Amino acid sequence: MTKKNIAFGFAVATLCAVSAVSAQAKEKLNVLCAADEEWCNLMKSTFEKESGVDVSMVRKSSGEIFAHIKAEARNPKVDVWWGGTGDPHLQAAAEDLTTPYKSEQIDSLLEWAQNQAKQGDYKTVGIYAGALGIGYNEELLKEKGLPVPKCWADLTNPAYKGEVQMANPNSSGTAYTTLATVVQLFGEEKGFEFLAGLHSNINQYTKSGSAPIKASARGETTLAVTFMHDMVKQVKKGFPIKVVAPCEGTGYEVGSMSIIKGARNLDNAKKFAEFALRPDVQSLAEKAKAYQVPSNSGSSVPEGAPKLTEIKLINYDFATYGSSETRKRLLKRWDDEIKSLPR
Amino acid sequence: MRTSFFPWLIMGWIGFAILPWYALEDGFWAFEWLIDGYPFDSDYAPALLQIFQDKEWLLPLLFPLLFPLCVFNRVKSDPKYASTLVISGGFGLAYILGQGFSVGISGWEFSTLESLFGPLETRQFGMGYGALLTSGAFLILLTTGLAAAGNLRGDVFVTSAIGIVVALVATFVFLPVGKILVSAFINDEGLYALSTFTNNFFTKKIWGIDCLSTSVSCGVGLNSFFLAILTATSTTLLGLGFALVATRTDFRWKKSLRVLTILPIITPPFVIGLALILLLGRSGTITQFVADLLNIEAGRWLYGLPGIWLAQTLSFTPIAFLVLIGVVEGVSPSMEEASQTLGASRWHTFKQVSLPLMRPGIANAFLIGFIESMADFGNPMVLGGNYDVLSTEIFFAIVGAQNDQSMAAVLAITLLMFTLSAFFAQRIWLGKKSYTTVAGKADSGIHAGMNPLLRRICMCVTIPWALFTIVIYGTVLFGGFVVNWGRNNSFTLQHYAEGFGIGWSEGNLVWEGAAWDSFWTTITISAIAAPLTAALGLLTAYLLVRQKFGGKNIFEFGTMLSFAIPGTVIGVSYILAFNVPPFELTGTAAILVLCFMFRNMPVGVRGGIAAMSQLDKSLDEASLTLGANSFTTLRKVILPLLRPAIVAALVYSFVRAITSVSAVIFLVSADHNMATSYIIGLVENGEYGIAIAYSSVLIFVMLSAILIVQKVIGERKLRRTNRLTSQSDTTKSSTNSAPMEKQA
């Protein structure tokens, strides 16, 4: 190395040091977000503005996040996991990947959100809820002269052959919720009979949970089984989608938030948790085109969001159907008895 | 020669006694530790001080750092000199790694150690500046010792270079891949069991053959295999057609056919799939048009095998073309002329003479098509329908609702099995026959024209296909400018504004668009990875071509291995291997750079080998005879002659880093998000407009990068052709060989 090089090296090192120190002065928080990009960004910028904490946020699907924090369990880099369906949050709580934190606002939360917290030993808490439903493309339905679906049972109508889309429960949490809902609604034997009937109408089991309704919006399929808030989003975008709450009753997800065990910025994580449960913050969701029902009783429900009070909801047993034992058994049964059926 | 190990020993001491031993939480470039309790704070202390705190196990490292001083005054030829250095370096390196793997973030890593020494109260983090520097010093001491013992003609530079490449490949290819393969044998309770593997491997899920007789789908392994055979066949045939049109006809636009070859390299994943949906999906533009015209019902045929096959054929045909055109051109005209003189018809000549001579090219094109199709992630993801293939199943085995790591590992092994058998099958098919046609003798004939029927077939197939490709890319370009494809086709700049908006605020430029963040990260990381990849690749190529050493074949296999491993597997294995000490890299930009380096290195190696085999060895020998050492020879003689190969490797690794996706989705973090993983998010959300706009911007950026570099090489080529005609061959072959080995 010549002298010049060494001098240059020092100059770079000093520069780095200076810039690094000034960057370090800021407080930090690492968040993994499983909601839509827009909502994630809104949460990030609002929290940053309010607290002065420097938030790093990455959007991933719930499954990816679960895999991520499990892989990192012995040396976590993430502080908060915000959003996404409740089952993996409960699973993470059961596997001791997250840490208990009882929010000051827990009493102002709706019952389902508190239940979620209790089930996860306060390692997680509900932040929003969404119910499953049937969505259909109105134009296509009319064009093909098909009847309007009202109930789950209608979906097995042979007239719908090749027109229904749902996600694969092996890859999508949404579809697993559908599977568990059907089993709870009809009983396991009858439930699988229904799924077998549905199977002959299905044109594709998609990988991602909300893909079917997007396909329906673009006219790639006529009917779709997804969460209703995903349907509302397509309606708001101007697609000819109609939302149906099944007459027999339906299951729901509790979108949750957890603080990771061993979080490096625990204080900021708690600050963020309180922030995310505040009514004024939850009411912002509509701005980000998210139509779930917020968990704080004081939050305003976005216009057009499916009103959970008006929908017949089943008494969803998250403890049983979220456990990895039941999950493995049901998924195996679905693989063996449904997926392998001819169409 | 005046080489001493002394500077390296000092480096070892600096790492051991001065710099912080462990990785700093704030990152490699944070220098807060200088003012925050260094050197006594246990987070920042150098190893020498850590020993006195609670990390007594670092004490034995003093031995290899002191021992070399015994031979400080001895000459190189003294056997004690060599053995002392080998012992110190070898022991030091082994001990650092051994303690790193044994003591982790929560005490002992192995239960046997715990029962032996009792529970450990303290813990240690990943290797930091100090540990890395000291390990490097030990490695060089070891190789210096080995060289002094007479290995590789006592050449310290070559021995060290081999040592460094082996160490890097072992750390960043074998360690992670080994980790994931091992996890195929771990059952739910975390114990090793062969049954875990056999239960997962011999299932209907992988090998089911129901689709042959019923409408139930086959196993994923077979699905992948069928698809790969179909894609490899169609891309090879089309590629051959294009190559024949480009070399043996007077087709007017045949020059522009070559432009097609760079397209797949600069196309971000998902793009072709998206464009196909917009055109041929059930409500796609072409589908609707045809359905209205013929009054038939629009179908969903695109989702599934036909769609993936179509998309893959579109994506990979240009690569087959690129491989085949060189071979088709290379077939010696004198052989064809001889055949015709002997009375064979044009068709007969083609069938009996030209085609057999093209066999290596056809085999190569087929192999590349097969592997590309197997490892392809983007197209099956978008167009898969109910047709499950291995690459996506691996992804969902890990991130899906089942979260089954050992299943993922088993699927990965299946995939690896297919790609490796394809390699061997190709070797066997080609056999040991000679296909040499360029022998250096005067070869002045011209290629025989094609048989008219064959000519017509080629033209009729290739021209529509080329037009179709143009339509697809047109859709991509146009799709970013319409509000909502198919529903609202009015012109808009909204997608670009949302992604790449720029604003002014308080006199400062503000990057308002949502995409800027990932865009700059992508460009920066790719720009850092490119020179490192090229350097490592060319160094390896130099060692392979110019040096002889034991275990060279295994060494070559090791450097090429990452080419055959699908990205998803690499991504997961990197998380598994580099999240815990001694190598703590997850969440950093470094892990992305390293991942790109070792995934794209095989291309640099191949390009370097191709270029270097054309440089006469007497050039090096002349330099060595005149007293230069091998490092100077490499720097002053070989590198300048390799300039085109270097540039090709640079461009290629830059572009590949931008477009790779399957490995990246596991490795991105909040601070370092990459463009492709951002685009996946958009596609998942159905935001096709911005996704396509972003992709067009990336295509544009990569295209300009290639054109700028091409221009620079172009000038060099001209000057060199004037001076040294043989150089133009080097230029051509090296620029061509790089893109051949594109992987998903």
What confidence tens digit (pLDDT) does each residue in A73-100 have? 777 888 999 998 888 898 899 889 999 9
Which of B25, B204, B575 is facing A71, going by the closest CB pair? B575
Of the candidate ranges A142-156, A328-342, B388-402, the one whose mean pLDDT is the lowest: B388-402
More confident residue, B671 or A79: A79
Q: What is the pLDDT of residue A149?
A: 94
Sign of CA dihedral B102, B103, B108, B113: positive
Residue of A222, A221, A220, A244 lying closest to A231 (CA atoms): A244
Confidence at residue A185, expressed as pLDDT on a 0 to 100 scale: 93
Question: Could you tell me whether strands A202-206 and A164-167 are parallel, antiparallel, or unpaired per DSSP bridges?
Answer: parallel
The arithmetic mean of pLDDT across residues B582-589, rounded, is: 79
How large is the average pLDDT for residues B301-323? 87
Q: Chain A 179-238, CB below 8 Å of chain B: which residues?
A: 203-205, 207-208, 210-211, 214, 217-221, 234, 237-238
Q: Does residue A170 belong to the interface with chain B, where contact is any CB pair within 8 Å?
A: yes
A160 and A272 part of one domain: no
Domain regions of chain B by residue span: 6-149, 206-432+471-479, 515-740
As for how many domains chain A has, the answer is 2
Element holding A58 (H helix, E strand): strand A54-59
Which of B141, B65, B468 has its CA nearest to residue B272?
A: B468
- pLDDT at position A164: 94
Topology of domain B206-432+471-479, CATH? MetI-like fold (1.10.3720)
Q: Which residue has the tokens 């420097």?
A: A54
CATH number at residue A88: 3.40.190.10
Contacts of residue A21, Cβ cutoff 8 Å, sequence gap at least 6: B31, B32, B35
- Domain B515-740 falls under CATH 1.10.3720.10: yes
pLDDT at position B706 is 80
- The answer to whether the Cβ–Cβ distance between A207 and B392 falls below 8 Å is yes
Q: Residue A261: left (phi > 0), alpha (psi -120 to 50), or beta?
A: beta
- Determine phi and psi for B511, rounding to 5 degrees: -85, 90
Query: Does residue A292 share a domain with residue A143?
Result: no
Cα B222–Cα B424–Cα B653 angle in degrees, nearest 5: 90
Between B522 and B125, name the one with better pLDDT: B522
Closest-CA residue of chain A to B278: A218
Per the structure block, which two tokens stand in for A20?
Answer: 């690094």
What digits encode the pLDDT tens for the residues B216-268? 778 889 999 999 999 999 999 998 888 888 877 777 777 777 777 777 778 88
| The pLDDT value given to residue A126 | 93
User: Which residue of chain B is at minimal alpha-carbon distance from A19?
Assistant: B30
Measured between CA atoms, the residue of chain B closest to residue A205 is B386
Residues B598-607: tens digit of each pLDDT: 888 887 887 7
Res A154: pLDDT: 93
Please report, rounded to a whole number, the percentage of residues in chain B having pLDDT higher than 70: 88
Q: Residues A94, A183: one domain? A: no
Rounded CA-CA distance B620/B615 in Å is 9
| One domain for residues A67 and A190 | no
Q: Per residue in A170-219, pLDDT tens? A: 877 889 899 999 999 999 999 999 999 999 999 888 877 888 998 898 88
Average pLDDT over residues B327-340: 78
Q: Do B206-432+471-479 and B515-740 share a fold?
A: yes
Cβ neighbours of residue A184 closer than 8 Å, sequence gap 6 or more: A191, A251, A314, A315, A316, A317, A321
Is B576 an 8 Å CB contact of chain A? yes
Inter-chain residue contact B684 with A211, CB threshold 8 Å: yes
- pLDDT for residue B27: 63
Check CB contact under 8 Å for B402 and A170: yes
Measured distance CA(B257)–CA(B458) in Å, rounded = 14
pLDDT attached to residue A146: 93
Q: Is B392 a residue whose pLDDT tops 70?
A: yes
> How far does the CA of residue A220 sit from the closest CA of chain B (Å)?
5
Binned at pLDDT 50, 70 and 90, residue B435 comes out as low
Chains A–B, number of C-beta pairs less than 8 Å apart: 146
Lowest mean pLDDT among A61-65, B517-521, B631-635, B731-735: B731-735
Residues of chain B with Cβ-Cβ distance to A64 below 8 Å are 399, 665-666
Beta bridge partner(s), residue A252: A131
- Cα separation, B122 vs B590, in Å, equals 27
Interchain pair A171, B400: CB under 8 A:
yes
Could you tell me which residue, B631 or A257, shows the higher pLDDT? A257
Long-range pairs for B461-466: beta carbons < 8 A, 24 or more residues apart = B461/B238, B461/B241, B462/B238, B462/B241, B462/B242, B462/B245, B465/B238, B465/B317, B466/B242, B466/B257, B466/B260
B107: nearest CA partner in chain A: A74
Among A residues 239-298, those touching chain B with beta carbons less than 8 Å apart: 239, 264
Residue partners of B469: CB distance under 8 A and separation at least 6? B260, B263, B314
Q: Is A30 on the interface with B (CB under 8 A)?
A: yes
Q: Is B576's CB within 8 Å of A211's CB?
A: no
Same domain, A113 and A143: no
Residues B42-93: pLDDT tens digits?
A: 777 888 888 888 788 888 888 888 888 888 778 888 888 888 888 999 999 9
Q: Is the pLDDT of residue B16 over 60?
A: yes
Domain that holds residue A67: 27-129+253-305
Residue type, B360: P
Do A170 and A148 have their domain in common? yes
B214 at A interface, C-beta within 8 A: yes
Residue A21, in any domain of the structure:
no
How far is it, in rounded angstroms, from Cα A282 to Cα A296? 8
pLDDT at B671 exceeding the cut of 60? yes
Q: Which residues of A touch B384 (CB under 8 A)?
A: 207
Establish if A9 belongs to a structural domain: no
CB contact under 8 A, A340 and B216: yes
How much is the mean pLDDT over chain A? 85
**Together in a domain, A34 and A115:** yes
Put simply, the chain A residues between 304 and 333 with a CB less than 8 A from any chain B CB are 327-328, 331
State which of A269-273, B317-321, B335-339 shows the largest mean pLDDT. Answer: A269-273
Instruction: Provide the pairing of β-strand A28-33 with A80-82.
Output: parallel
Asked if A259 and A280 sit in the same domain, the reply is yes
Least confident of A175-184, A330-339, B191-200: B191-200
Residue A221 sits in the same domain as residue A263: no
| Contact residues, chain A, for B681 at CB < 8 Å | 37, 59
B358 pLDDT more than 90: no
Encoded tokens for B484: 């909502």
The residue whose two tokens read 């096959």 is B309
In a domain, A313, yes or no: no
Residues A331, A207 share a domain: yes
Residue of B nearest to A163 (CA): B300
Q: Which residues contact B720 (CB under 8 A, 6 or more apart)?
A: B727, B728, B731
Predicted confidence (pLDDT) at residue A20 exceeds the cutoff of 50? no
Task: Output the pTM of the full model.
Answer: 0.78
Q: Are residues A283 and A297 in the same domain?
A: yes
Structure confidence at residue A35 (pLDDT): 84
Does the pLDDT at position A246 exceed 50?
yes
Residues A189 and A290 in one domain: no
Confidence label for B105 from pLDDT (cuts 50, 70 and 90) = low
| Residue A23 confidence (pLDDT) | 41
Residue A324's DSSP bridge partners are: none
ipTM of the complex: 0.72
Residue of B nearest to A143 (CA): B297
Is the model more confident about B612 or about B534?
A: B534
Name every residue whose Cβ is closer than 8 Å to that of residue A323 and which is 6 or more positions away in sequence. A94
Alpha helix segments (H runs only) across B660-743: 664-667, 675-684, 688-723, 726-740
Those of residues 58-97 in A touching chain B at CB distance below 8 A are 58-59, 61, 63-64, 66-68, 70-72, 74-75, 77
Give me chain B's average pLDDT, please. 80
Question: Does the CB of B398 have a partner CB in chain A at under 8 Å?
Answer: yes
What percent helix, strand, coil does chain A show, rounded to 5? 50, 20, 35
Average the pLDDT over B125-142 and give the result: 87
Q: Which of residues 191-210 of B touch A (CB under 8 A)?
A: 204-205, 210
